[in-house]
Amino acid sequence: MYNRLSKMLPMSCAYVCALVMTATTAGQPFTTIINVPPDVAPSTIGTDTQLNLLNNGLISGNFNAGASDGLSTNVQFNMTGGFLSASVQANPGSTVNINGGILGGFFEANSGSTVNISGGSTNSFIDANAGSTVNLSGGNVGMFFDTFTGSTVNLIGGEFQLDGVPVVGLVAAGDSAAVNLPAGRVLTGTHADGTTFVFTSQTGGEITDGTLTLIAAPVPTAVPGVINVPASPAPLGLRAGQTLNLAQGGDLGNNFAAIDTTLNVSGGNIGPGMEVVNTAVSVTGGNVGSNFAAHNGSVVAISGGTVGDKTEASPGSTFNISGGSVGNNFNARASSVVNISGGSVGRFFDAFTGSTINLSGGDFQLDGVTISGLAMPGDSIGFNLPEGSTLSGTHADGSVFVYSTLDGDDIADGTLTLSAISIPAALPGVINVPATPAPLGLRSGQTLNLASGGEIGDNFTTLNATLNIAGGTVGRNLEVYQTAVSVTGGVVGDFFAATTGSVVDISDGSVGNHFLANTGSIVNISGGSFGSLFQAKSGSTVNISGGSLGTIFGANAGSTVNISGGSLGNFFQALSGSTVNISGGSIGDMFFAGLDNTTVNISGGTVGDAFRALNGSTINISGGIVGDNFNSHRDSTVNLSGGTVGNNFFALDGSFVNLIGLSFILDGVDLTPGLLPTDSILVTDRDVILEGILADGSPFSFDLNSAILSFGDFFDPNATLTITLVPEPWTFSLIGAGGLCALRRQRRLR
């Protein structure tokens, strides 16, 4: 299992991943040398080429070191500074040396490549693919590092510990040990440059068995004592015997690791990806970035400040949250303990089986009904949150909380305990902000009027209240429950959630990304602007008569969306069981309707190109304009009685297309005189033109091509095409639930 590499490797880390910044590699000269800046980086470098990314340099597009076909040789990419923002492919025959700068996007070390990382910082996903060699001796690669079978990854440094126990056999420089990292285990250590690191599969990365080797190398001596940042320069990591106090103006950067130590955050900023092992962390102010993970033995106390999204309470860790703000996607893993008595936690709280969640407060209610057994301070009960239900209450600091499976929270049975403590009395009445300081939440009977200059923080929650936003700003994760909301101005942040019993009226102002209309909510939009990703959940009703919505709108099963005005961006998805009624307004390209029991009624407005009627959907078009490249998939039904549909209409195998009109001409022959009103006639002809007048008086023309052409309509021979003559004036009562059943006589044409 262990061996000595002293005969193979010199006695310092430099021999393992020397960063050769000369014009030769293995004695071979480079015919082309590119320095960025001042040069502009190409998207690919090939044989006998060296590219050096220097300070202030930028590679913004996808970059290949070596040709993707594997035929390049003598290729070198050196990164000593700058920023690489997109994906990188280290292809066969390439050597990549990184000892500075910031690596973003995705990094792929492919077969036949060698990657040496001795410095710098990554914000990216790094994959060591089969046949690649990756040597890590410094810098930080963060938590999203994957090694695949057949790759060789050498981790070079010292102070290696596996679950807090030193790895044996690594005494002298050059000693090595092959190590596997099963799920749930944590590997820590220090690189030769003094950077501390944490490797574990629990927080994103995966180290495949048989790929990882630890190699001992000298590391700087850890100096015990207190480090005050920004008064002192921030270290590359925090090691045993050290304490770091981070204050206003300080910055610890990305992927900071603290092992067997103490970290106090009263101000300043910590970048994404911090990991702590067996460390006491106190957050009373400042900002801790996303993807913060606390591993075994760590105790994290949060009483102020902000902590970003995707916080991980790993096995053996404890979180005590009494104030401050914690973002979305908090994961409490098995064997972790999370105590919440104040502050706020965002949406998508996930408590895994085996975790312990203690929730302290008062006014505990389940779906608006008081929970018994919690009448007096000190009372506590074990509690399971049923699917489709909402748990609400108030913490000791007056902050209001809501946990709901309807809003993405998932608390496993047997993990949650509710404990009654004293809470401040709710004072009914009107709160005007900024004239009065904003409360931490809004409780039953209260009304809050937010005006220009006012501010409401993140994770603000309302229960049985009224919220009027005419100006000012609201932070992320506004969650309203059984609340009347009026937005006539101001700015509302991302992740606004309207939950059961709420009515939200938006006529002006700006709303951020990720708006959620939950079950039992009604959202009326007549103006204002929205970011991307609007979601109408089952049982919600969304009425849009004005305003501007960004890309990606999702109508979930059981939702009803009525669009009579306004504009929506590209990518509208009407999921199974949803109903979408479009009578006006404008919707962008890529409308997906499906699958089973989805109904889309279009009587006006405009819908962009690339409409997809997926399996089991029903599309009723009686007016409006639908763009080019409409596709009707197997088992979908399209009833066209009016409006305009663009070019390249595809009726695919197994689809049903019904044309309802005043006249029909097939291959130049007028069929109208031979048709009886309300007859449904099956058209089997292909490679001819079918044209006429729809029931609303709109002309139509389809090329019934039996093969897919580069341009033109396509009607698969196995698609069912019918025409139905209706008398004038046509009434649209025939279209709808079972509507075409009225057209019961069906004859085959020809």
Calculate ∠ Cα 156-157-161, nearest 5°. 110
- Confidence (pLDDT) at 674: 84
Handedness of CA 13, 109, 140, 206 (dihedral sign): negative
Q: Strand runs (DSSP E) across 284-387, as ranges?
A: 287-288, 293-294, 299-307, 312-313, 318-326, 331-332, 337-345, 350-351, 356-366, 369-370, 380-382
Is the pLDDT score of 737 beyond 70? no
Q: What are phi and psi of 472, to 5 degrees?
A: 75, -165
pLDDT of residue 203: 66
407 SS3 class: helix
Domain regions of the chain by residue span: 2-216, 225-420, 429-658
pLDDT one-digit tens code per residue, 322-345: 999 999 999 999 999 999 999 999
State pLDDT tens for residues 2-44: 232 332 333 333 333 333 333 334 457 899 999 999 999 999 9
The mean pLDDT of 539-546, rounded to a whole number, is 97
Is the CB of residue 254 less than 8 Å from the CB of residue 233?
Answer: no
pLDDT digit string (tens) for 191-215?
988 899 999 877 667 899 999 999 9
Q: How confident is the model at residue 710 (pLDDT cuts 50, 70, 90)?
A: confident
The first and second tokens of residue 543, run together, are: 């009425």
**Whether residue 439 has a cis bond before it, omega within 30° of 0:** no
Distance CA 33, CA 51 (A): 6
SS3 416: strand
User: 333-342, 562-571, 682-691, 737-746: which range is least confident on average?
Assistant: 737-746
Give residue 434's region: left, alpha or beta (phi > 0; psi -120 to 50): alpha
Give dist(CA 112, CA 213) in Å, integer. 18
Mean pLDDT of the chain: 91
Give per-residue pLDDT as tens, 445-482: 999 999 999 999 999 999 999 999 999 999 999 999 99
pTM equals 0.83
> Which residues, 6 or more positions from 243, have their beta carbon under 8 angstroms from its beta carbon?
225, 226, 227, 261, 262, 263, 264
Band (pLDDT 50/70/90 cuts) for residue 428 is: confident
Residue 749 has pLDDT above 60, yes or no: no
pLDDT grade, residue 414 (50/70/90)? very high
Number of CB atoms found within 10 A of residue 387's CB:
8
Residue type, 707: A
* Spatial separation of the C-alpha atoms in residues 195 and 190, rounded to whole Å: 6
Q: Tens digit of pLDDT for each residue in 220-244?
A: 988 889 999 999 999 989 999 999 9
Q: Token pair for residue 694?
A: 């729809």
Do 248 and 214 form a contact (C-beta atoms < 8 A)? no
Q: Exposure pattern of 56-85 as b/e (b: 16+ CB <10 Å)?
A: ebebeeebbbbbeeeebbbbbbbbbbbbbb
The residue type of 298 is: S
What integer pLDDT is reported at residue 204 of this predicted model? 66
pLDDT digits (tens, 9 = 90+) for 159-173: 999 999 999 999 999
Instruction: Tell me the per-residue pLDDT of 579-629, one tens digit each, with 9 for 90 and over.
Output: 999 999 999 999 999 878 899 999 999 999 999 999 999 999 999 999 999
Which residues does 674 contact at the CB level (< 8 Å), separation at least 6?
A: none
The per-residue pLDDT for 27 is 54
Q: What is the pLDDT of residue 15?
A: 35
Strand order in the sheet with 206-207: 44-45, 63-65, 88-90, 106-109, 125-128, 145-147, 206-207
The answer on pLDDT for 565 being more than 70 is yes
3-state helix, strand, coil in the chain (%, to 5): 5, 50, 45
pLDDT for the residue 729? 56
Give pLDDT, residue 596.
Answer: 80
